[in-house]
Amino acid sequence: MTAKVSLDCNSIKDWDSFHDEFATVFGFPAFYGRNMDAWVDCLPSLDASEDGMSTVHCEPGSVVTLSLSNVKAFAERCPQQYSAVIECSAFVNWRRLQAGDPSVLALSFHG
């Protein structure tokens, strides 16, 4: 089973709104640190609901697809945040692969 999370990037204007939006759509815990280290720490557990790092989950061996809309304008308006999504998503999957676990996060860009 693949889960899907959708985020309209028009709502991201800066780092604060970036972390607000991701914390909301992924249901990060109250102690989420609102930085990219914390973001990377929460997402590897998407297939481990018992970790309590997100309210979004998928079955072990499957992925959560992060569907981002209005991406072109987001990339122009917030190039650091745009790059962070790509680089940190890749890092989440790389770290899992290094541990012998499959990738858990896929990206889908629209507009």
Which tens digits make up the pLDDT trace of 67-105? Answer: 999 999 999 999 999 999 999 999 999 999 999 999 999
Q: What is the pLDDT, as a whole number, of residue 96?
A: 96
Q: What is the pLDDT, as a whole number, of residue 1?
A: 54
Q: What is the pLDDT, as a whole number, of residue 111?
A: 86
Q: Which two tokens stand for residue 1?
A: 């089973």
Amino acid code (one letter) for 97 = L
Q: Which two tokens stand for residue 33?
A: 């640190």
Q: What is the pLDDT, as a whole number, of residue 2?
A: 66
Coil vs helix vs strand at 106: strand
Share of the chain above pLDDT 70, in %: 98
Q: Which two tokens stand for residue 49?
A: 């609901």
Q: What is the pLDDT, as a whole number, of residue 53?
A: 94
Write out the CATH class of domain 3-65+85-110: alpha beta
CA distance 44 to 28: 12
**What is the rounded average pLDDT of the residues 7-24?**
98
